[in-house]
Copies of this chain bind each other. A is one copy, B any other.
Amino acid sequence: MTSGTSRAAVDPEQACPIAPVVDIVFSRWTTPILWALNEFGRQRFVELSRRIATITPKVLTQRLRQLERDGLVVRTYHAEVPPRVEYEISELGRSLAPLFAHLAEWASVNLEKVERARQDHDATERVGARRN
């Protein structure tokens, strides 16, 4: 298994086949955005920002541009005054729904285990310090 001195050094993309898709789908703020667009349908910029609430317009713009470029979101601009821009999830974006469901399923089963692990860890930290 461990190959002794031979270093099988590869870049993260090679070392982990899912790394590229993680970059696309799970970079910061993308899941709340995709979720909102999938759940509540086509929405305007302000609607999205109100729904997600803690995202700033700068970052929302950045993420939407990225999602548009990756083909997960479709942006429609209406040249009115004031301007109206609508975002909706694409078919490609919708194809992530089962994956997200799977993730939600894992969370419903295991999230509390993570919580418990954290509490245990923090507790033994306080008591027994870390003897390295």
Residues from 77 to 120 in A contacting B, C-beta threshold 8 Å: 77, 79, 83, 92, 95-96, 98-100, 102-104, 106-107, 109-111, 113-114, 116-118, 120
Contact with B along A23-51 (1 / 0, CB 8 A): 01110010110011000110100010011
Contact of A9 among B51, B92, B100 (CB under 8 A): B51
On whether A114 and B70 interact (CB within 8 A), knowing A18-B35, A21-B106, A32-B15, the answer reads: yes
Copies in the complex: 2
CA separation between A21 and B97, bound complex, in Å?
A: 16
Q: Is A56 an interface residue (CB 8 A)?
A: no
Cβ distance A98 to chain B, nearest Cβ, rounded Å: 8
CA separation between A16 and B26, bound complex, in Å?
A: 13
CA separation between A125 and B54, bound complex, in Å?
A: 30
| Cross-chain contact B2 with A15 (CB below 8 angstroms) | no
| Extra 14 A-B pairs, beta carbons < 8 Å, given A1-B40, A15-B52, A18-B107 | A12-B52, A16-B31, A16-B36, A18-B100, A21-B103, A24-B114, A69-B117, A69-B122, A70-B117, A71-B113, A71-B120, A71-B121, A92-B110, A102-B102
